[in-house]
Amino acid sequence: MNVAVTKKLKVATTSLAGCFGCHTSFLDIDERLFDLLQLVEFDRSPLTDIKRIGACDIGIVEGGLCNAENVHVLRDFRSNCKVLIAIGACAINGGLPAQRNHLSLPLILQEVYHTSVGLANGLIPNDPELPLPLAKVRPLHEVVKIDYFIPGCPPSADAIWKALTDILAGREPALGHGLIHYD
């Protein structure tokens, strides 16, 4: 174990249709971040503010897929990361955004921009720069191959730490009782 780590693993993170709660929970590993930084360096991530992903060893993706840009970013992560980790309920099962899935998208847009209380018959945003919403919100594994999953809404800092240290050590991540949660 005394062999010096010559090359740090590159890690990228992003939040798609998520709330950044998983990133916040990740930061809750607190001083263990220093231990982690002995082993990894961050590439594209809200923590570094790097906007474009390079070749990485590990990608950590929070949030599900609710629009075309989410799919684009996810595919970008998949093609640049050797190992891709889905973190949190939204990435794993669509989560809160997927609660719209039993409603039709046109009806939702009508409700939000035309008929709901407090809006003076606004326009449905249609700037070409805006990514188009998907008809249904999808979890990540339905679009690309996901190697590992860390469930929770959000997963606790201890659960994230356990899963990450398992993965970094080359073990299948296992969260025992008290760490595995879907809520």
Partner 1 sequence: MSSSFTLDGRTIEFAEGQTIMQAALAAGVYIPHLCYHPEFKPHGSCKLCTVTVGGRQTASCTTLAQAGMVVESDTPALNDERRTLTEMLFVEGNHFCPSCEKSGDCKLQATAYDLGMMSAHFDHFFPSRPVDASHPDVLLDFNRCILCSLCVRASRDVDAKNVFALSGRGIRTHLIVNAKSGRLADTDVALDDKALQVCPVGAILRKHKGFSVPIGRRVFDLKPVSAYVDASAAIGKERP
Binding site for partner 1 (CB under 8 A): 86, 89, 92-96, 98-99, 101-102, 136, 138-139, 141-142, 146, 148-151, 153, 173-175, 177-178, 180-183
Question: Which of 137, 71, 70 has its CA nearest to residue 101?
Answer: 137
> Of 81 and 163, which CB lies nearer to partner 1 in the complex structure?
163
Q: Which residues pair with 65 in a beta bridge?
A: 138
User: Could you write out the DSSP letters of every residue in 111-134?
Assistant: IIIIISTT--S-PPP--TTSPPEE
> Smallest gap, in angstroms, from Cβ of residue 25 to partner 1?
13
Q: Which residue has the tokens 């899963």?
A: 163
Helix, strand, coil in percent for the chain, rounding step 5: 35, 20, 45
> Of 15 and 44, which CB lies nearer to partner 1 in the complex structure?
15
> Of 78 and 141, which CB lies nearer to partner 1 in the complex structure?
141
> Smallest gap, in angstroms, from Cβ of residue 106 to partner 1?
16
Residue 56 and residue 81 in contact, taking contact as beta carbons nearer than 8 Å: yes
> Of 25 and 93, which CB lies nearer to partner 1 in the complex structure?
93
> Smallest gap, in angstroms, from Cβ of residue 110 to partner 1?
18
> Smallest gap, in angstroms, from Cβ of residue 139 to partner 1?
7
